[in-house]
A and B are shown apart, each in its own frame.
Chain A
Amino acid sequence: MHSDLVISQADRRPMYLQILEQVRRRIAIGDWQPGDELPSIRGLAASVQVSVITVKRAYLELERTGIIVTRQGKGSFVADTADLRTRLQHGELDEHLSSAIEVGRQLGLGATELEGRLRKLWDRKAPDVAGKDERER
């Protein structure tokens, strides 16, 4: 499998997390399909120029969360679960919403105020969809 992951030293997130997130992203958008083989740990380490131990840690974490499976002596594969892609996309959405909540809290906003803000942005960004939504009510 081709592995054009890129990690950045200027990124404040640790390197293992950058790798982990990029692998998750690849699977979420469907570039890497369930059952596909991942690059080997040493191969990926060499191609993105990070320590073997860093890639190992990212893979272990992906394994722990059921996103990939590692078969002894055979390599690592994207988990063959039907809803993996949707699960990852929902996970991503939750992460974004969580950080919005965090910023909201710092501004002293409650849940209702945040909901209002979300609704406002929704209407501005997708008026057609929002309009349809209104009509259906």
Chain B
Amino acid sequence: MTERLIEVAGVEKAYRFFRLTNVSLELEAGQIMGFVGPNGAGKSTLMRILMGMARHDRGSVRVLGHPIPEQQAPAKRDIGFVSEDMRLHGNVSLAWHMKLIASIYPAWDATYADVLLDRFNLHAEQQIKALSHGERVKATLLLALARRPRLLLLDEPTTGLDPVARHEILTELMAVVQDERRAVLFSSHNTQDVEQISDQIVFIDRGRIIDASDKETFLDRWRRLHLDVPAGVELPALQDVVETRTSGQIAIVTTKAYSPGLETIYQRAGAQVRDIQRMTLEEIFVANVMSNRREQAA
């Protein structure tokens, strides 16, 4: 049986101007999960809850089998957490940080750390304050990766990075799941990174998980149909159609549950299917968020 490294069920957390509502998700060993949402959707809040840095009001959280926040100490020994607001000391070198982490975590892999220095193009002796933004992100990531933790929690690891640095980081994340006992959860609003390397995808908006599935299912189910709709023809209202845009005799229909039968339905209604297009994860994400917000407003 595959082991679940993260189990979140019915988690609620209320702040003055923001709340997480009924958040549930599971991450199995061997997988990469992409956590996608607009700014302020609740991605960082959930990461902080997983780390025991914020306490949820309701629901249950288990990480690496340990209930959180009660048993966060043993869980954290095997979690590598990287977030934007983690600051390295500016007046010392990266080597100083490496030595510090190595003294705390016995699993520190000095050989791998050296390999990462080389792959990330970093110099251990350089002062942190002399590093660029991208180098600083890579340095923080190096400190987490070289501990070889079973679970990596990465909050926006690729935000603000150039394409080469992003490539270097994605390569290392893929390397992590060469080991089927390990897993990665990373949040991002860069859907391209998520689409490329994630096995599981979770969409979050305004504190709610609005959709979650494996990536192949997402990309398979969502389609855009271009239809010719002659005057007088009425398109049937279908449950899984999230949006219909009409202009003159042309309609563009977005569905979240495509099957070839859909064409027949439209053809029987008198419309003609001109084109069926797959959607990128970004298009799916935006369509999903917008349709969900319309539903919430209704």
Contact = CB atoms under 8 A, between A and B. Distances in A.
Interface of A: 9, 12, 14, 16, 42-43, 45-46, 49-54, 57
A82 to B, nearest CB: 33
B32 interface: yes
Interface of B: 30-32, 167, 170-171, 174-175, 177-178, 180, 192, 195-200, 214-216, 219-220, 278
A17 B270 CA distance: 33
Given A9-B196, A14-B278, A49 B216 contact: no
A46 B196 CA distance: 11
Given A9-B192, A14-B278, A49 B170 contact: yes
Contact of A46 (B174, B180, B192): B174
Given A51-B197, A51-B199, A52-B30, A46 B178 contact: yes
A57 B216 contact: yes
A2 B142 CA distance: 28
Contacts of A14: 219-220, 278
Contacts of A46: 171, 174-175, 178
Interface SS, A side? helix
Contact of B215 (A42, A45, A49, A51): A51
B193 to A, nearest CB: 10
A49 B199 contact: no
B178 A49 contact: no
A43 B178 contact: yes
Interface SS, B side? helix
A45 to B, nearest CB: 6
A16 B214 CA distance: 14
A53 B214 contact: yes
Nearest to A16: B216
A108 B125 CA distance: 71
19 contacts: A43-B178, A45-B174, A45-B177, A46-B175, A49-B170, A49-B171, A49-B174, A49-B196, A50-B197, A51-B32, A51-B215, A52-B30, A52-B31, A52-B177, A52-B199, A53-B31, A53-B199, A53-B215, A54-B216
Nearest to A50: B196
A95 B198 CA distance: 31
Nearest to A57: B216
Contacts of B171: 46, 49
A12 B220 CA distance: 13
Contacts of A49: 167, 170-171, 174, 196-197
Contacts of A16: 216
Nearest to A51: B199
A45 B175 CA distance: 9
A46 B182 CA distance: 14
Contacts of B195: 9
Contacts of A51: 32, 196-199, 215
Contact of A42 (B178, B192, B196): B178
A19 B174 CA distance: 17
A42 B216 contact: no
Contacts of A9: 192, 195-196
A43 B175 CA distance: 9
B180 to A, nearest CB: 7
Given A49-B170, A49-B174, A49-B196, A54 B215 contact: yes
A52 B196 CA distance: 10
B119 to A, nearest CB: 13
A120 to B, nearest CB: 30
Contacts of B192: 9
B176 to A, nearest CB: 9
Contacts of B219: 14
Contacts of B178: 42-43, 46
B239 to A, nearest CB: 25
Contacts of A57: 216
Contacts of B215: 51, 53-54
